[in-house]
Amino acid sequence: MKLAYYPGCTLKTQAKNFEDSAIASFEKLGIELEELKRWNCCGTVYSLTSDDLMHHLAPIRNLIRVKEEGKSKVVTFCSMCYNTLKRSAIRIKNNDEDREKINNFMDREEVKYEGDIEVLHGLEVLKNEVGFDKITKIVGEVHEPPILNGLKIAPYYGCLLLRPDEIGIDDPENPSILEDFIYAIGAEPIDFPYKNECCGAYQTVNEVNIVVDKAYNIINNAQRMGANIIITSCPLCEFNLDKRQKDIKKKYPNFKEIPVVYFTQALAVALGLDPKTYRFDLNYISPQAVLVK
């Protein structure tokens, strides 16, 4: 099965470990991710004001690219891209006046946007198109017991996969898709109350202190509940939880470091793929010792 794939900017650079592990794992699971021939930055945040149609142009242009390639669905892995593309898609689909205005503005586009592209997150594809049962089966065939058997993983959802309700891939308060994913790859999820608490997001640019405190609380909570490692699906969460551990350590000297990886990196390990696809060199705290025995 082939699926149109929208990488977004960060998966091409700092989060290349997310992209490489995603493409390789999906291939092993029978899904070929076909990167859009043309795409642009989605804008990273969904425009929240009622009148600011201009900022919906970037996400909608990407959906036009999907249409141009004759597809009706597009998959993305970054939680921020997912949230922005999906919310814009819903707004433009449900609002005739906005749709007309935005199409009139993009009069040089050859294809009109009719609100007809479905935006999916990679986790939804794993759950609904591949099926967690099938993943369990393949992971069991690769190694018996599964490579990640006994590993305690903290599922960190963050905000933008779950909120607001209209785009959430699961229950915003009590999600379980990442836990189900963790079981499927043969590891054990830990339950921790900070799993959907905000890491401070873009405040990391000018309010490092706030992010340090938030990330410290999240990580500390996961560790107290017994986690060996944390998984995420957002490059901004990854930066705040992984790379900011350097700053956490400065403020809280007793802090103990813990690796943070993309869910696709854990998947690639569980599937026994070539270690080149893990790209652990891009993780700040090396996951090597914890993930690969």
Partner 1 sequence: MFRGMKFELESKIKNKFVQKVEELSGENLSACYQCGKCSAGCPSAPFMDILPNQVIRLIQLGMKKELMNSKTIWICASCFTCSVRCPKGVDLAKIMEALRQIQLRQNIDYGKPLNLSKEKIGELPQIALVSNFRKFTA
Residues that bind partner 1 (CB under 8 A): 8-10, 13-15, 41, 43-45, 48-52, 55, 78, 80, 159-160, 163-165, 172-173, 197-198, 200-207, 210, 213-214, 235-236, 239, 243
For the chain, the straight-line distance linking the first and the last C-alpha, in angstroms and rounded, comes to: 32
By C-beta, is 236 or 270 nearer to partner 1?
236
* Longest pairwise C-alpha distance within the chain: 59
As measured in angstroms, the least distance from the Cβ of 31 to partner 1 is 24
Helices (H), the chain: 16-28, 57-68, 79-94, 96-105, 122-124, 132-142, 177-184, 208-224, 235-238, 245-251, 263-270, 288-291
Cβ atoms 209, 241 nearer than 8 A: no
As measured in angstroms, the least distance from the Cβ of 135 to partner 1 is 28
By C-beta, is 206 or 254 nearer to partner 1?
206
Look-up: residue for tokens 């405040």?
203
As measured in angstroms, the least distance from the Cβ of 40 to partner 1 is 12
Pairing relationship of beta strands 2-5 and 260-262 according to DSSP bridges: unpaired
Q: How far is CA 63 from CA 84, 119, 262, in A?
A: 12, 9, 25
User: Across the strands, what pairs with 152?
Assistant: 188
Cβ atoms 146, 271 nearer than 8 A: no
Task: Report residue 155: phi and psi, to 5°.
Answer: -85, 110
By C-beta, is 225 or 282 nearer to partner 1?
282
As measured in angstroms, the least distance from the Cβ of 289 to partner 1 is 25
By C-beta, is 141 or 202 nearer to partner 1?
202
By C-beta, is 167 or 187 nearer to partner 1?
167
By C-beta, is 7 or 259 nearer to partner 1?
7
By C-beta, is 7 or 155 nearer to partner 1?
7
The encoded tokens of residue 189 equal 């999820």
